[in-house]
Amino acid sequence: MSTLTLGIIVIVYIFILAWLGWMGYKRTKNSSDYLLGDRKINPMIMALSYGATFISTSAIVGFGGVAATFGMGIQWLCALNMFMGVIVAFIFFGQKTRRLGVKHDARTFPQLMGLHYNSPLIKQICAGVVFVGMPLYAAVVMKGGAVFIEQVFDMDMNIALFIFTVVVAIYVITGGIKGVLYTDALQGIIMFVSLLFILIWFYKIMDMGFIEANRNLTNIAHLVPDRLKEVGHQGWTAMPVTGSPQWYTLVTSLIMGVGIGCLAQPQLVVRFMMVENGKQLNRGILIGCIFIFFTVGSIYHVGAMSNLFFLKTEGMIASELVNDIDRIIPYYIDKAMPSWFGAIFMLCMLSASMSTLSAQFHTMGAAFGADAFPKLGRSKNPNSTMGVRIGVLISIIVSYIICYALSASIIARGTALFMGVCAATFLPAYFCSLYCKWVTKEGALASISIGAVSSLFAMLFLHKAEAAPIGLCKALFGRDVLIEAYPWPMIDPLLFALPLSVIAIIVVSLMTKKRP
Amino acid sequence: MFGIDDPGIWLAYLLAFACLIFSVGYGIVFWNKDNKNEKEEEE
C-alpha cells in the first residue's frame, strides 16, 4: 500500500481522534469531569480504556517478538494480565477502591492514599513518584510510537516523534479524561479487531488446527539456535531451563513483575473510581478479560507460531530470519497477512501507543496539577481545570526531553522500571487501605518510602539490566553490580523491594498508635 | 494438553482459558447485580 494511502488513512484517523477529544472537551465542565469523568463513565468505555491503556506497542511488537524468539512461556503474561490485572484487580481491588474514592471524594490515586491515611505527605510522595517515574515509562511508549511512524512513512525520527506527541497532547489537554476514554475505546476496538484477525488468518493460511499446530511447533524444538540454548531455550512449547538467564528474566521480571505490578499502576487504579457503582465494574470484568485474551493472547500465540510459517515459506525460524526481536512481528505481518492489512496493523500500533500514552500524560498531569500543586490556576475558580492542564503540558515536555536525552538501552527498561517501582512503593499501602484497618499512617509512610528507595537502590546497584546502562555502580565501585554472583544480577528489583515494603508497613504499624 | 507436553506452558493456556470462561460467567451473572456491601452502604 502506498505511503500516500497510508497517510490519508492516518489523517482520517487523527480527525476522528480530534472529534472524540472535542466531545470530551465539550462534556468537561469542572475538575471532577477532567479527572474522573464525574464518576459516571460507561463501563464498556472504562473497560476498553483499561485494556487499551494496559496494552502498549511494546506489549504487541516487543513481547510478540519475544514469543517468536523464545516461545510460549510469555503466555504467562497474558494469563496473569487476565487473572491479576482484571479479575483480581476488579473484584478484590476495584470494588473497594471505587467506594473508598467516593467516601474520600478522591480524584487521583495520590489523593486516595493521602486522604485515607490522613497524610498530605503520603499524597505528595505518591504524586512525586508518579511525576518523576512515569515520564520514563511514557518516553518508552513515545519512542515506540515514533519509531513505528518513522518506519512506515520513511520519515525523520525527530519529526515523527514531534507529530506523534503533539497529536496525543492536543486531545489529552483539551478533552481531559473523557477525551482520553473516548479515544481509548476507539483504539481498543481497533486493537481487538486487528489482533483477532491475525490469529484467525494464521490458521487459515497454515491450514491446521490449534492442537496440530502446537504439536508441529513442539516437533521443531531441535532447531533452536545454540546461542539461545545457552540462555535456557528448550523449544517454543517449553519453559526455559529452570535457573537459566532466560528463566530468571521470564519469571522474575515478566511474570512476577507484571503480574504483581499491574495491581498498583496509578493510571489503572484511577479507572476504578470513574464508574457509578459496583455492577459497572462487574460488567468491566467480562469486557476486560475478553479484550486481553484476544489481543495479547493472540499476538503471543501467533508470535511463537510464526516459526512454523517462516519455516514453511522461507526455510528458517523467526530469530534467524530477523535479527532484531522488535522487527519479527512487523516482518510477519508483511509476509503473512493480506496487503491491505498493513494499514489496519499500522492503526493498531498507533492505537496501542496512543492509548497508553494518553493515560500516562493525564495521570502525570493530575499528579502535578491536582496533587503536588493543587492551588495552581485555582486562585479565582476552585473548580478550574487550568492547573491539571498545565500539569499535563509539563509532563509531556518532560517525557519528550527524556525521550531524547536517555540512551535506548535505558529507555527500553522504562516499562519494567516503572511497574516495579509502583508495585514496591504503592501496593502494600494500597492493599492495606482496602483491607487492613489496623495499618497506621506511619506504617504506610514507611512502606511507601522504603519501597521507593529500595527499588531505586536495586535498580542502580543490584539488577544488571538497569545498573549497567546507568553506570553509577560502575563509577562508584568499579563493577556493574554490587553482587556479581549468579543469579543475583538477574533478579528483578521488585523481589528485593516489595518484601521490604511489606515488612515496613507491618512492623511500623505495630509500633505506632492505631488510627482514630 | 492442547498438544503441548510441558505443563509449564499448557498451565498458562489453561489459566487464560479459565479466566476467560470465569469472566464471561461472572459478567453475565453479575451484570445487573450490585455488590452486597454497596447496598448496605446506601441504606
C-alpha cell at A137: 515509562
Question: In this predicted model, what pLDDT tens digit does every residue of A487-497 receive, in sequence order?
Answer: 889 888 888 99
The pLDDT of residue A406 is: 65
Query: Does B4 contact A285 at a Cβ distance shorter than 8 Å?
Result: no
pLDDT at B43 over 50: no
Dihedrals phi, psi of A289, to nearest 5 degrees = -70, -45
**Nearest chain B alpha carbon to A219:** B4
CB proximity B8 to A under 8 Å: yes
Scan for cell 481487538, then name that residue. A192
- Mark the ranges of chain A whose per-residue pLDDT is less than 70: 1, 377-383, 406-413, 514-516
CB proximity A304 to B under 8 Å: no
Report the distance separating Cα A174 and Cα A322, nearest Å. Answer: 41
Dihedrals phi, psi of A495, to nearest 5 degrees = -70, -15
Residues of B in contact with A82 (CB under 8 A): 15-16, 19-20, 23
The pLDDT of residue A151 is: 73
CA distances from A317 to A211, A301, A355 (A): 20, 15, 32
The pLDDT of residue A506 is: 95
CB proximity A277 to B under 8 Å: yes
**Nearest chain B alpha carbon to A284:** B27
Q: Is the ipTM of this complex over 0.95?
A: no
Residue from A504, A166, A444, A301 nearest A309 by CA: A301
Q: Helix A157-206 and helix A120-153: axis angle, to 10°?
A: 70
Task: Nearest by CB to A297, from B8, B16, B37: name it.
Answer: B16
Query: Does B37 contact A86 at a Cβ distance shorter than 8 Å?
Result: no
Report the distance separating Cα A194 and Cα A215, nearest Å. Answer: 26
Query: Does B27 contact A282 at a Cβ distance shorter than 8 Å?
Result: yes
Query: Does B9 contact A238 at a Cβ distance shorter than 8 Å?
Result: yes
Report the distance separating Cα A431 and Cα A427, nearest Å. Answer: 6
| Dihedral in degrees, nearest 10, Cα atoms A116, A121, A122, A125 | 150
CB proximity A428 to B under 8 Å: no
A315 contacts: CB under 8 Å, gap ≥ 6: none
The pLDDT of residue B25 is: 93
The pLDDT of residue B3 is: 84
Task: Nearest by CB to A282, from B13, B33, B37: name it.
Answer: B33
Residue A165 burial (10 A CB sphere; 0-12, 13-18, 19+)? buried
The pLDDT of residue A516 is: 58
HSE-CB at A181 with a 13 A cutoff on CA atoms is 31
Q: How distant is the alpha carbon of residue A355 from its chain centre?
A: 10
CB proximity A4 to B under 8 Å: no
**Nearest chain B alpha carbon to A282:** B27
Report the distance separating Cα A356 and Cα A172, nearest Å. Answer: 12
Closest-CA distance, B13 to chain A, in angstroms, reads 7
Residue from A70, A86, A71 nearest A301 by CA: A71
The pLDDT of residue A277 is: 81
Query: Does B23 contact A75 at a Cβ distance shorter than 8 Å?
Result: no
Q: Output the CA angle A159-A160-A166, nearest 5 degrees.
A: 85
HSE-CB at A320 with a 13 A cutoff on CA atoms is 14
Dihedrals phi, psi of A276, to nearest 5 degrees = -80, -35
Query: Does A79 contact B19 at a Cβ distance shorter than 8 Å?
Result: yes
Tallying the residues shown for chain B, one arrives at 43
pLDDT at B42 over 70: no
Task: Nearest by CB to B15, from A79, A99, A237: name it.
Answer: A79
Say how many C-beta atoms besides its own lie within 10 A of residue A265's C-beta.
28
DSSP-based three-state secondary structure for B40: helix
Say how many C-beta atoms besides its own lie within 10 A of residue A15's C-beta.
10
Query: Does A278 contact B35 at a Cβ distance shorter than 8 Å?
Result: yes
Average pLDDT, chain A: 87
A395 contacts: CB under 8 Å, gap ≥ 6: A131, A134, A135, A138, A360, A361, A364, A365, A368
pLDDT at B20 over 90: yes
Please indicate whether residue B25 or residue B3 has the higher confidence score (pLDDT): B25
The pLDDT of residue A116 is: 94
Residues of A in contact with B38 (CB under 8 A): 95, 99, 277-278
What is the pTM (predicted TM-score) of this model?
A: 0.87
